[in-house]
Amino acid sequence: MDFRGSETALGPQSADLLPATAAMAVKVVIVGGFGVGKTTLVGSVSEIRPLTTEETMTQAGADVDDVAGIERKTSTTVAMDFGRISINDELVLYVFGTPGQERFWFLWNGLFEGALGAVVLVDTRRLEVSFDVIGRLEDSGVPFVVAANTFPESPTYPIEELRAALDLPAEVPIVRCDARTRESGRDVLMALMRYLYDLAAPPPPAR
């Protein structure tokens, strides 16, 4: 997918965001429930100053947004986050983060347009906020990997227990990450790219 000279979700100037040496750019989306660390992940991996649409949370939103377990959260994404990371000299990822609250999910259709895959970021303290997100991706047919974000109070479960709790098929990769660190976020994106590559590879010849 070459974005040079084309209009993408970023508009006609988006080709200017592509480094001169890059031959290919791929759009991926970071999704997850409210407060799982999507904005943090986009910001940590981006090699450019990330675009964010963070707004201060108000008492008016307390009646519609479930802040149980994340009571110290003071801001929220209301449209999208955007960053860019060069995987190597030729491949660049455009990374879009979605808002977590269900009342903003109507924005997802536009953010997913042209995306090759997604990362579902989960908080093991609140796995239930990820169920509807995963279900929506499965219904849409968008390939995804799951990344369990590490919080100070997060319980650590074996990968297969997480798979069972999230009701994921065996082929969907699950990785652990710390959304605050660039290296960990890059590893998550590389896991997604490897998964997309495996999905695109032709099946072995029958014997």
Question: Structural domain boundaries of the chain?
Answer: 14-200
Tell me if the domain spanning 14-200 has CATH number 3.30.2350.10: no
Q: Over the stretch 74-126, which tens digit does the pLDDT of each residue have?
A: 444 445 889 999 988 888 999 999 885 565 566 667 788 889 999 999 999 99
Q: Which of 74, 75, 76, 128 is nearest to 103 (CA)?
A: 76
Residue 158 confidence (pLDDT): 95
Q: Over the stretch 164-199, which tens digit does the pLDDT of each residue have?
A: 999 999 999 999 999 999 999 999 999 999 999 999
133-135-138-140 Cα dihedral, nearest 10 degrees: -70
Q: Over the stretch 23-76, which tens digit does the pLDDT of each residue have?
A: 688 999 999 988 899 999 999 999 999 887 654 544 444 444 454 544 454 444
Q: Is the pTM of this model over 0.75?
A: yes
Q: Which of 39, 48, 40 is nearest to 17 (CA)?
A: 48
pLDDT at 145 over 80: yes
